[in-house]
Amino acid sequence: MANQIFMDWLSSPEFRLSFSTAKNLLESPAKFQWEITNKLMYEPDEPTEAMRLGTLIHTLVLEPHEFGTKFVISPEFGRTKAELEAKAEFFKANEGKIVVKDKEVDKAERCIKYIPDNVMDIINAGKTEFEINQPISTLPFKGIIDCYTDRVIEVKTTSESSADKLIASFFNLKYPMQAAIYGVLAKKEFSLDYYPNTTYLIIQTVAPYRAYFIEADKDYHLYGQKLLDQAIATFNYANKEGLWDKGWDIQSIGLPAWAIKELDN
């Protein structure tokens, strides 16, 4: 049986689906319920170093004027009583900001060094961190698009140095569904007669620290729409039947599709 906190959220004015919540429906209704409940009940975990770097890069690329509002650079503190007291005062004075070190800012600036000027011109001319609230198949959705021009532009950081591994990571992270959601939202928001494509600004956070501006192809968008349809169908079924505690629908352990193909060859 679904918990009351979750059920109250479902019937509240704050109820919205998003890419980050909808992708949990692809795992199970129980995963979706757990993640929503956890978010409502608890403060988020402290960001990891990789998360801080990703947020730094997003800010420097999309909203450099917001750096001082979101971040503060921490001085080095020693372990004497006076220095520890100064450290406590520093964190208290900067509560709500993401505390970073000089070396983290230096790395973020190194990562964005190879973004071509013409790409930055496109982003600077667009709407950045653009929020859209629109229904998809009668369900309320919210999306915050990194940048919108005549297309959706998403900034993604990666620690992959192999193109094949990058593509696999996009697949595993369900980014095609995000492209589908943002395409539908943008179409509705701007009354377009087409679904805008998604182009990615991919920034490596490891050597050789290159940046790539690459458009997703037709199959990528079609697959994303299939995932979105699946997520919406799972939500509607679980909501209608009250099956929010339902986990995996698995009866036996078999082989993945790629292994079955190898057996057939």
Q: Determine whether 183 is exposed, middle or buried from the number of CB atoms within 10 Å of its CB (0-12, 13-18, 19+).
A: buried
For tokens 């403060």, name the residue.
Answer: 43
Class of the CATH domain delimited by 115-233 = alpha beta
For tokens 């501006």, name the residue.
Answer: 213
% of the chain at pLDDT higher than 70: 99
End-to-end CA distance of the chain: 45
Tell me: pLDDT of 185 over 70: yes
pLDDT tens per residue, range 42-84: 887 888 888 999 999 999 999 999 999 999 999 998 889 999 9
Tell me: pLDDT of 190 over 70: yes
- 3-state class of 202 per DSSP? strand
Measured CA to CA in angstroms, residue 100 lies from 69, 94, 104, 258 at distances of 13, 11, 6, 43
| Helix spans in the chain (H) | 4-10, 19-25, 29-41, 49-62, 67-70, 81-93, 102-111, 117-124, 163-172, 175-189, 218-241, 257-264
17 CB-near residues (< 8 Å, 6+ apart): 136, 139, 140, 141, 142, 235
- The model's confidence at residue 2, banded by pLDDT at 50, 70 and 90, is low
pLDDT tens per residue, range 137-158: 999 999 999 999 999 999 999 9
Give the CA angle between residues 31, 39, 127 to the nearest 5°.
100
Mean pLDDT of 104-115: 94
Closest CA relative to residue 180, chosen from 42, 22, 3: 22
Mean pLDDT of 192-210: 95
What is the reported pLDDT for 128?
97
Torsion, Cα of 153, 158, 163, 164 (10° steps) = -110
Mean pLDDT of 155-172: 94
Q: Determine whether 10 is exposed, middle or buried from the number of CB atoms within 10 Å of its CB (0-12, 13-18, 19+).
A: middle
What is the reported pLDDT for 46?
80
193 CB-near residues (< 8 Å, 6+ apart): none
242 CB-near residues (< 8 Å, 6+ apart): 1, 2
pLDDT tens per residue, range 121-132: 999 999 999 999
Mean pLDDT of 216-240: 96
Domain positions in the chain: 49-111, 115-233
Mean pLDDT of 29-42: 94
% of the chain at pLDDT higher than 90: 82
Phi/psi at 80 (5° precision): -75, 165
- For 71, the enclosing helix (H) or strand (E) is strand 71-73
* HSE of 116, CA atoms in CB hemisphere, 13 A: 8
